[in-house]
């Protein structure tokens, strides 16, 4: 007598075998998959002349340095900064407010004070920063802007800026700031890279749905 449950058991077994094969292949191909994944997040372009560099908030230790470099090379004639809402440490006086720190940093790195503009309106997200730039472009409709942000953040930033600016997004391009010791080719090998790239992937997914 044949067992009526045998076909479904066989089907289940086949599925498990397929799953194990897929996982094994994914593991063996991790040296290709993970760098591709990291590289997917970076849509930056080589810097080209623009009227302004816009150094996004949240990266005072790196982004303003690159913006200053663009200014000193004559690629931009001014730097725009968002008005970053202070976090708890800044509120307690343990750290300077980010916008003020970056303004002083730009001056120290050779960008004259009259070449730095702080865009009004407190920001807490990339979305807010895109709106700040949108208001600036309302008043300066012909301005071109190099948005400076971390390499892994450029895809999400580009999506948000395109969404907020609409056709004016053509006036904007994205310049990458590298992260010390972490690249798309090795992000999973360090705790910092793992946290940065995975969190960015989740955020990119969230922004995809939310905006």
Partner 1 sequence: MASHPTPPAPPRRRARRWRRRLTAVALVAAVAYLARAPLLRTGGAVLVSDDGLAPATRVAVLDGDRRFEVAAALVTAGRADGVLIVQGAPARTVLVGLRPSPEDVGRAELSRRGVPHARVEVIPGRARSVWDWARQFGGWLAGHPDATVLVLADRFGSRRDRLVLRRVLASDQFARVRVAALPHREYAEADWWRVKGGGLAFGYGTLDLGYAWLAGEGDPPAEPRSPDELEGVTRD
Q: Binding to partner 1 (CB under 8 A): which residues in 34-93? A: 46-47, 60-62, 65-66, 68-70, 72-73, 88, 92-93
CB atoms < 10 A from the CB of 33, how many?
A: 13
Closest distance between partner 1 and the C-beta of residue 139, in Å? 28
Pair of tokens at residue 99: 């916008």
**Any contact of residue 180 with partner 1 (CB under 8 A)?**
yes
Burial letters 107-146, b for 16+ CB under 10 A, else e:
eeeebeeeebebbeeebeebbbbbbbbbebbeeeeebbbb
**Any contact of residue 139 with partner 1 (CB under 8 A)?**
no
Residue nearer to partner 1 on the CB measure, 135 or 189: 189
CB atoms < 10 A from the CB of 78, how many?
A: 19
Q: Binding to partner 1 (CB under 8 A): which residues in 99-138? A: 101, 104-105, 108-109, 124-125
> Rounded to an integer, what distance in angstroms lies between the CA atom of residue 208 and that of residue 102?
30
Enumerate binding residues for partner 1 (CB under 8 A).
7, 10-11, 46-47, 60-62, 65-66, 68-70, 72-73, 88, 92-96, 101, 104-105, 108-109, 124-125, 175-178, 180-182, 186, 189-195, 198-199, 202
């Amino acid at each position: 007598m044949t067992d009526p449950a045998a076909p479904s058991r066989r089907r289940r077994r086949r599925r498990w075998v397929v799953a194990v094969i897929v996982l094994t292949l994914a593991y063996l191909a991790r040296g290709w998959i993970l760098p591709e994944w990291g590289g997917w997040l970076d849509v930056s372009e080589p810097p080209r002349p623009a009227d302004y560099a816009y150094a996004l908030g949240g990266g005072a230790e790196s982004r303003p340095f690159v913006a200053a470099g663009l200014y000193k090379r004559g690629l931009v004639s001014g730097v725009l900064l968002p008005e970053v809402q202070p976090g708890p440490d800044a509120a307690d006086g343990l750290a300077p407010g980010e916008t003020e720190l970056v303004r002083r940093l730009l001056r120290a790195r050779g960008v004259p004070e009259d070449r730095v503009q702080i865009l009004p309106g407190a920001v807490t997200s990339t979305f807010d920063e895109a709106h700040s730039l949108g208001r600036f472009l309302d008043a300066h409709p012909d301005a071109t802007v190099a948005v400076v942000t971390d390499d892994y953040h450029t895809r999400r930033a580009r999506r948000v800026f395109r969404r907020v600016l609409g056709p004016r997004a053509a006036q904007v391009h994205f310049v990458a700031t590298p992260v010390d010791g972490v690249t798309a080719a090795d992000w999973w090998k360090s705790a910092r890279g793992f946290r940065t790239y995975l969190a960015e992937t989740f955020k990119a997914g969230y922004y995809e749905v939310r905006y």
